[in-house]
């Protein structure tokens, strides 16, 4: 009998502090940085984002999202035998955020580790969990994307600091006799590392380099649109499906223009694209599971729908997952 994996519950969590573009513009103006709601919306589609309190970590956000996903799946934390956290803003250098979150869930013993692929992180983590379930290594996995990107933003750079937000999303992935995840496709090309990075590290008790986010927006945009289409088509081909078989496209929520361009290339109407970037901003590895949970709870996504998840991020990394919900 073939062994597959299937999403049985989704969850998400946003920190309470919500900043509209006007709120953020006012804070930046006090620092001598000029921006406006109109400028941000026109270029990105973002209208608001959430920032975590200073004492709240990625594992704290991930914990709430994980609990919501477990509740949706009708499971207890003790049922879980694998935890993977996708994050670029871990609680510590080590141990992994996943082990910290595991302890906060009150469980022990199961494997728990982080995946670092920036904004593609959730797609990478879901692919790894799917593989481990198919081989029998795990049966019930928590896959979480959690970020506190507000900690690594340069608030003197209006081209980047207006883009990102904090949050977490999670899914429960369980072994199944019927296919859930239909196909996956992962890629990376390190030659593009410099166009989106945080070029700092810790050595001898000091930060070496720059611990704040740097991005060449035009280069990222140009690369993203091309690789997202290619990855989506490769995933469809592996599953033997066509563009028209996609019920919902859930792209990484980075920029509305990238999302619109990808949908157009896949011949999908915007009514089939899950969009939360306007309210969440770019939450990196958390963006896809956040958007998915929002659409599930709003009644947009229903059992049996075919979903295309796709992400692109620093590294440069990209990939897609095609699944039956």
Q: Which of 119, 197, 255, 280 is catalytic?
A: 119
Q: Do the strands 181-188 and 166-176 form a parallel or antiparallel pair, or are they unpaired?
A: unpaired
Q: Is 119 among the catalytic positions?
A: yes
**130 forms bridges with which residues in the sheet?**
none
Question: Residue 285 in 3-state DSSP?
Answer: helix
Cβ-count burial of 96 within 10 angstroms (0-12 exposed, 13-18 middle, 19+ buried)? buried
Measure the CA–CA gap between 254 and 257, rounded to whole angstroms: 9
Write down the architecture of domain 4-178 according to CATH.
3-Layer(aba) Sandwich (3.40)
Listed in order, the ranges of the chain carrying CATH 3.40.47.10 are 4-178, 182-324
Q: Which of 21, 68, 255, 282 is catalytic?
A: 282
Q: Is 280 among the catalytic positions?
A: no
From first to last of its 325 residues, the chain has per-residue pLDDT tens of 799 999 999 999 999 999 999 999 999 999 999 999 999 999 999 999 999 999 999 999 999 999 999 999 999 999 999 999 999 999 999 999 999 999 999 999 999 999 999 999 999 999 999 999 999 999 999 999 999 999 999 999 999 999 999 999 999 999 999 999 999 999 999 999 999 999 999 999 999 999 999 999 999 999 999 999 999 999 999 999 999 999 999 999 999 999 999 999 999 999 999 999 999 999 999 999 999 999 999 999 999 999 999 999 999 999 999 999 9
Q: Which two tokens stand for residue 276?
A: 């939360």
Q: How many Å is the Cα radius of gyration of the chain?
A: 19
CB distance 319 to 311 below 8 Å: yes
Question: Residue 186 in 3-state DSSP?
Answer: strand
Measure the CA–CA gap between 65 and 71, rounded to whole angstroms: 10
Longest dimension (CA), the chain: 64
Q: Which of 50, 68, 197, 252 is catalytic?
A: 252
Superfamily assignment of 182-324 in CATH?
Answer: Thiolase/Chalcone synthase (3.40.47.10)
């Amino acid at each position: 009998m073939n062994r597959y994996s299937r999403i049985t519950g989704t969850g998400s969590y946003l920190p309470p502090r919500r900043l509209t573009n006007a709120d953020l513009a006012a804070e930046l103006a006090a620092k001598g940085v000029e921006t406006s709601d109109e400028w941000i919306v026109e270029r990105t589609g973002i209208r608001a984002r959430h920032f975590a309190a200073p004492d709240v970590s990625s594992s704290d956000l991930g914990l709430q999202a994980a609990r919501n996903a477990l509740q949706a799946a009708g499971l207890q934390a003790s049922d879980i035998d694998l935890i993977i956290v996708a994050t670029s803003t871990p609680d510590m250098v080590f141990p992994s955020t996943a082990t910290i979150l595991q302890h906060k869930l009150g469980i022990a013993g199961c494997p728990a580790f982080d995946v670092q692929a920036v904004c593609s992180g959730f797609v990478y983590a879901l692919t790894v969990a799917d593989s481990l379930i198919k081989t029998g290594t795990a049966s019930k996995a928590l896959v979480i994307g959690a970020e506190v990107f507000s900690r690594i933003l340069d608030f003197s750079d209006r081209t980047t600091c207006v883009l990102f937000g904090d949050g977490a999303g999670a899914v429960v992935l369980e072994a199944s006799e019927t296919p859930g995840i239909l196909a996956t496709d992962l890629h990376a090309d390190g030659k593009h590392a410099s166009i989106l990075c945080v070029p700092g590290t810790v050595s001898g008790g000091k930060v070496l380099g720059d611990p704040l986010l740097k991005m060449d927006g035009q280069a990222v945009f140009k690369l993203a649109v091309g690789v997202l289409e290619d990855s989506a088509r490769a995933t469809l081909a592996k599953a033997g499906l066509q563009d028209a078989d996609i019920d919902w496209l859930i792209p990484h929520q980075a920029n509305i223009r990238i999302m619109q361009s990808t949908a157009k290339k896949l011949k999908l109407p915007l009514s089939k694209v899950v969009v939360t970037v306007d309210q969440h901003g770019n939450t990196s590895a958390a963006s896809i599971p956040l958007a998915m949970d929002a659409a599930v709870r709003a009644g947009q996504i229903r059992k049996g729908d075919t979903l295309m998840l796709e992400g692109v991020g620093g590294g440069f990394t990209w990939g897609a997952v095609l699944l039956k919900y």
